[in-house]
């Protein structure tokens, strides 16, 4: 009898999705779950852990964080990631440009490159161009539009997909439930021509609920040749067909045009980190994301969540991206610049996910089964090495054929299941499995020569993943948790595409695979201290790289890395501790710290096998800071909120060989650590109006977080210097 009802429900839902392409929203039960999920803390801290279940997904036993941007004293106008994620220990950020258009975050020694080691989602669905073949996230919603950010570490691999980093899901605002019309606006002006305008409108009328926003941000940029403009439009509409069923649609369009100032040599960085020798490089991105979702409770024990979603987008770049030591100069004979290179990608993907959560009885207690299926397809038409104009504007037109033209595809199907067993009143275990079927294809040509064609590179594989979590309610306010989850990183398009006709791709090239293991203790003590401290191990096997074999470049699985460390967060309201009770005045301090020892344990490179001095075994993983410490102090009362926050990040190597001295083109070499201090103040004028001001990088620290070997311009890429902003916000 237990299985009959879910089976009938599944059939009904599949039919409904196929015929209606429906949508849904949070119901009252989920709202109660979210309120229960908050760690009872000293005041509105802006972070909490998740409840045992979230929608149709089990979160018990996982390391989770929920961030509420509006509750933070943070620079939301520029999507300042080091401030928004400050209370999530171990988040490393690439801060190579100040636009906030691309998030570029990572954890546990992984690369922050456009957040490609995280499963990036919006409202629970994919927003990257292709999470399997090209997982770089070129689009980030404005933080002013984000209600909360859900972060799940590596244990998200079973419920959401294979990425080692885990999940970052940005949940956008929806219409207020208590009135038909509510309006909010935020207008920001700041240094270097910054202008940010956010305007949202929403409400609920009868069975209908809606919300939409219009956002625009532009600036001249802190560095020379770094101006940008971005515009975002979003709308969502939901309909309560019955008390148990909600349907709806949502759509987002984001457009961005950004000038790329390129890299610097280390000497240029010391002299003037704001300088730039590239004025003709541009990135142009239109991004369209749509979804239809359904939330249905056929009975008190069952929740069904279905989503149909897709992305249609383009990535276009034009510029001169050769080594920083090669000047982009005017040809004396023609008195004009040389033609620039144009690269274009066109992405089209479509997916569907169906999740079912069902309560049942096991061991005399309530158990919870979460299961689901996924179907997904993505196509990328890639055009590169086109001959562009000799101008300086963002003109993507080309003359003649592209030097490289490829069709890249992904087809994916998955099934997963996790079950929460409550063995006692305090102890729970969560075993789980995910079964992935994945096919990747590459066709086209890599140059215009007679031998430049790429034969069909179709690869099909079946990947099973397993996991086990546990959670112990140690006291009323604290939990012990642990989790082991396998993960894998699919072979990317770039791994299947030879750079030249002489390059060889290993026919037995395998997906990288491994696991995340973490265990910790979290909760509150006497409602005066919130904390979460844990240890972790990330095993990353079969990393892909290029080696020299038989005189040619050979793309194959060549290495293994292991990251181990500690992640810790604590926050306390000092005034509440001193008084012994709460009132309207708070003085809170927080600290989040991560120690990460990320090292290579194996590197199979035939070119260095006979020279032990060149082995990178036991070398540190590139772009992985050993220590990341963020902390801050906040004073808050009924009208005023003031905070100061510091971000201290260790230096990093930028290549696997751990090269210390930078090379002439500044593409490899050690990057020194840095400390950045930010300050924010907000005055709540009335129930409807507030004024805020912020100064980022108060002491004007000159720092860099990354080096680039190619796009967006080879060399050392500086972080943003001191800048200020002022915001007027109103709600009606």
Q: Give the percent of the chain with pLDDT over 90.
A: 75
For the beta carbon of residue 120, count every other beta carbon within 10 angstroms.
25
Lowest-pLDDT range of 27-31, 356-360, 643-647: 27-31
Closest CA to 56 of 10, 17, 18, 12: 10
For the beta carbon of residue 251, count every other beta carbon within 10 angstroms.
15
CB 542 within 8 A of CB 512: yes
Within 13 Å and on the Cβ side, how many CA atoms surround 221? 25
CB 23 within 8 A of CB 210: no
Residue 21 has pLDDT above 60, yes or no: no
Closest CA to 367 of 726, 60, 674, 689: 60
pLDDT score of 24: 34
- List Cβ neighbours of 32 (8 Å cut-off, separation of 6 or more): none
| Rounded mean pLDDT, 393-419 | 95
Instruction: Count Cβ neighbours within 10 Å for each residue of 412-422 and write b for 16 or more, e otherwise.
Output: bebebbbbbbb
Tokens 């954890």 locate to 107
Adjacent-strand bridge partners of 543: 559
pLDDT score of 15: 36
**What homologous superfamily does CATH list for 4-400+432-731?**
TonB-dependent receptor, beta-barrel domain (2.40.170.20)
Tokens 């924010």 locate to 680
Cis ω for the linkage preceding 712 (within 30 of 0):
yes
Band of pLDDT at residue 614, cut at 50, 70 and 90: low
Lowest-pLDDT range of 367-381, 415-429, 452-466: 452-466
Backbone angles phi, psi at 408, to 5 degrees: -120, 135
pLDDT score of 377: 97
Residue 252 has pLDDT above 80, yes or no: yes
Per residue in 56-103, pLDDT (tens digit) is: 999 999 999 999 999 999 999 999 999 999 999 999 999 988 888 888
CB 662 within 8 A of CB 669: yes
Q: How far apart are CA 44 and CA 73, in angstroms?
A: 11
451 vs 618, higher pLDDT: 618
Q: Is 182 exposed, middle or buried (0-12, 13-18, 19+ CB in 10 A)?
A: middle
Residue 618 has pLDDT above 90, yes or no: no
CB 672 within 8 A of CB 712: no
For the beta carbon of residue 31, count every other beta carbon within 10 angstroms.
11
Residue 381 has pLDDT above 70, yes or no: yes
Band of pLDDT at residue 496, cut at 50, 70 and 90: confident
**Parallel, antiparallel or unpaired: strands 627-636 and 640-649:** antiparallel
pLDDT score of 612: 60
Closest CA to 698 of 44, 83, 225: 83
Per residue in 201-223, pLDDT (tens digit) is: 999 999 999 999 999 999 999 99
pLDDT score of 9: 35
Q: What is the DSSP string of 191-229?
A: GGGEEEEEEEEEEEETTEEEEEEEEEEEE--SSTT--EE
CB 141 within 8 A of CB 172: yes
Taking the alpha carbons of 237, 255, 162, 516 in that order, is the dihedral positive or negative?
negative
**Structure token digits, residue 328:** 């982009």
Q: Which helix (H) or strand (E) holds 575?
A: helix 574-579
Per residue in 223-233, pLDDT (tens digit) is: 999 999 999 99
| Rounded mean pLDDT, 35-59 | 72
Per residue in 546-586, pLDDT (tens digit) is: 776 776 777 888 889 999 999 999 999 998 888 877 788 99
Per residue in 636-671, pLDDT (tens digit) is: 999 999 999 999 999 999 988 888 999 999 999 999
pLDDT score of 437: 96
Q: How far apart are CA 91 and CA 634, in angstroms?
A: 21
Q: How far apart are CA 342 and CA 78, in angstroms?
A: 28
Residue 686 has pLDDT above 90, yes or no: yes
6 vs 117, higher pLDDT: 117
Per residue in 717-730, pLDDT (tens digit) is: 999 999 999 999 99
- List Cβ neighbours of 350 (8 Å cut-off, separation of 6 or more): 308, 309, 310, 376, 377, 378
Instruction: Count Cβ neighbours within 10 Å for each residue of 337-373 and write b for 16 or more, e otherwise.
Output: bebbbbbbbebbbebbbbbbbbeeeeeeeebbbbbbb
Lowest-pLDDT range of 267-276, 402-411, 551-560: 551-560
**Could you tell me where the DSSP H helices lie in 51-128?**
81-84
- 3-state DSSP assignment of residue 66: strand
Average pLDDT of the chain?
89
Residue 236 has pLDDT above 80, yes or no: yes
Per residue in 425-474, pLDDT (tens digit) is: 999 999 999 999 999 998 998 887 767 787 767 889 999 999 999 999 99
Q: How far apart are CA 551 and CA 71, in angstroms?
A: 58
Residue 5 has pLDDT above 70, yes or no: no
Within 13 Å and on the Cβ side, how many CA atoms surround 654? 24
pLDDT score of 35: 36
| Rounded mean pLDDT, 492-498 | 80
Q: How far apart are CA 101 and CA 217, in angstroms?
A: 10
- List Cβ neighbours of 179 (8 Å cut-off, separation of 6 or more): 203, 204
Radius of gyration (C-alpha) of the chain in whole angstroms: 25
Q: Which helix (H) or strand (E) holds 708?
A: strand 704-708
Q: How far apart are CA 62 and CA 51, in angstroms?
A: 10
pLDDT score of 579: 82
Residue 4 has pLDDT above 60, yes or no: no
Per-domain residue ranges for the chain? Answer: 4-400+432-731
Closest CA to 730 of 686, 671, 695: 686
E strand intervals along 124-193: 125-126, 146-152, 166-172, 182-190
Percent helix / strand / coil, the chain, rounded to 5: 10, 55, 35
- List Cβ neighbours of 351 (8 Å cut-off, separation of 6 or more): 125, 126, 308, 309, 310, 374, 375, 376, 377, 412
């Amino acid at each position: 009898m237990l299985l009959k009802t879910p089976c009938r429900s599944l059939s009904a839902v599949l039919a409904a999705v196929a015929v209606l392409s429906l949508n849904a929203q949070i119901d009252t039960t989920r709202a109660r779950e979210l309120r229960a999920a908050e760690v009872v803390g000293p005041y509105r801290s802006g972070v909490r852990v998740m409840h045992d279940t979230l929608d149709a997904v089990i979160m018990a036993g996982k390391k989770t964080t929920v961030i509420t941007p509006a509750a933070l004293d943070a620079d939301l106008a520029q999507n300042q990631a080091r401030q928004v994620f400050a209370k999530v220990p171990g988040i490393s950020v690439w801060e190579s440009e100040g636009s906030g258009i691309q998030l570029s975050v990572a954890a546990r020694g992984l690369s922050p490159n456009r957040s490609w080691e995280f499963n990036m989602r919006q409202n629970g669905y994919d927003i990257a161009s292709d999470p399997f073949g090209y997982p770089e996230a070129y689009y980030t919603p404005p933080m002013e539009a984000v209600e909360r950010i859900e972060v799940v570490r590596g244990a998200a691999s079973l419920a959401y997909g294979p990425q080692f980093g885990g999940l970052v899901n940005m949940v956008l605002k929806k219409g207020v439930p208590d009135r038909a019309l509510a309006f909010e606006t935020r207008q920001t002006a700041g240094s270097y021509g910054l202008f940010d305008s956010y305007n949202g409108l929403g409400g609920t009328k009868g069975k209908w609920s809606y919300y939409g926003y219009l956002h625009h941000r532009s600036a001249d940029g802190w560095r020379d040749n770094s101006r940008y403009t971005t515009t975002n439009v979003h709308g969502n509409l939901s309909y309560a067909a019955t008390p148990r069923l909600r349907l709806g649609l949502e759509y987002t369009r984001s457009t961005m045009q950004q000038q790329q100032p390129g890299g610097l040599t280390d000497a240029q960085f010391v002299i003037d980190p704001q300088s730039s020798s590239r004025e003709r490089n541009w990135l142009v991105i239109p991004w369209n994301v749509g979804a239809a979702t359904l939330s249905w409770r056929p009975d008190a024990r069952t929740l069904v969540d279905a989503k149909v979603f897709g992305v249609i987008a383009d990535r276009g770049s034009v510029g001169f991206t050769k080594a920083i030591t090669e000047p982009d100069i005017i040809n004396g004979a023609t008195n004009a610049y040389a033609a620039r290179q144009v690269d274009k990608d066109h992405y089209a993907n479509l997916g569907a996910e169906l999740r079912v959560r069902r309560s049942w009885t096991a061991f005399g207690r309530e158990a919870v089964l979460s299961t689901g299926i996924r179907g997904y397809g993505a196509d990328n038409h890639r055009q590169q090495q086109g001959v562009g104009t000799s101008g300086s504007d963002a003109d993507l037109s080309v003359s003649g054929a592209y030097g490289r033209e490829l069709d890249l595809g992904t087809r994916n199907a998955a099934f997963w299941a996790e079950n929460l067993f409550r063995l006692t009143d305090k102890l729970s275990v969560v075993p789980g499995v995910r079964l992935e079927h994945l096919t990747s294809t590459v066709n086209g040509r890599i140059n215009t020569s007679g031998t430049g064609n790429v034969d069909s590179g179709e690869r099909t594989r079946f990947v099973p993943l397993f996991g086990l979590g546990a959670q112990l309610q140690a006291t009323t306010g604290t939990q012990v948790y642990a989790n082991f989850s396998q993960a894998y990183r699919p072979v990317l398009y770039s791994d299947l595409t030879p750079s030249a006709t002489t390059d060889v791709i290993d026919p037995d090239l395998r997906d990288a695979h491994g696991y995340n293991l973490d265990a910790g203790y979290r909760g509150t003590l006497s409602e005066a201290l919130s904390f979460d401290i844990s240890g972790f191990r990330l095993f990353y096997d079969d990393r892909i790289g290029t080696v020299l074999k038989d005189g040619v470049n050979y793309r194959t699985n060549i290495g293994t890395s292991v990251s181990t460390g500690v992640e810790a967060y604590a926050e306390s309201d000092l005034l509440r501790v001193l008084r012994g009770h709460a009132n309207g005045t708070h003085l809170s301090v927080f600290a989040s710290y991560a120690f990460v020892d990320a090292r290579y344990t194996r590197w199979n490179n035939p070119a260095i096998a006979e020279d032990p001095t060149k082995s990178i075994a036991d070398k540190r993983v590139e772009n992985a800071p050993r220590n990341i410490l963020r902390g801050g102090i906040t004073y808050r009362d009924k009208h005023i909120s003031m905070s100061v926050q510091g971000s201290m990040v260790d230096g990093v190597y930028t290549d696997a060989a751990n090269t210390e001295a930078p090379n002439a083109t500044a593409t490899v070499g050690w990057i020194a650590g840095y400390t950045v201090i930010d300050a924010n103040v907000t005055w709540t004028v009335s129930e409807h109006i507030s004024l805020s001001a912020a100064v980022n990088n108060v002491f004007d620290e000159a720092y860099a977080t990354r080096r680039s070997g190619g796009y967006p311009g080879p060399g050392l890429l500086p972080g943003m210097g001191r800048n200020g902003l002022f915001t007027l916000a109103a709600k009606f």
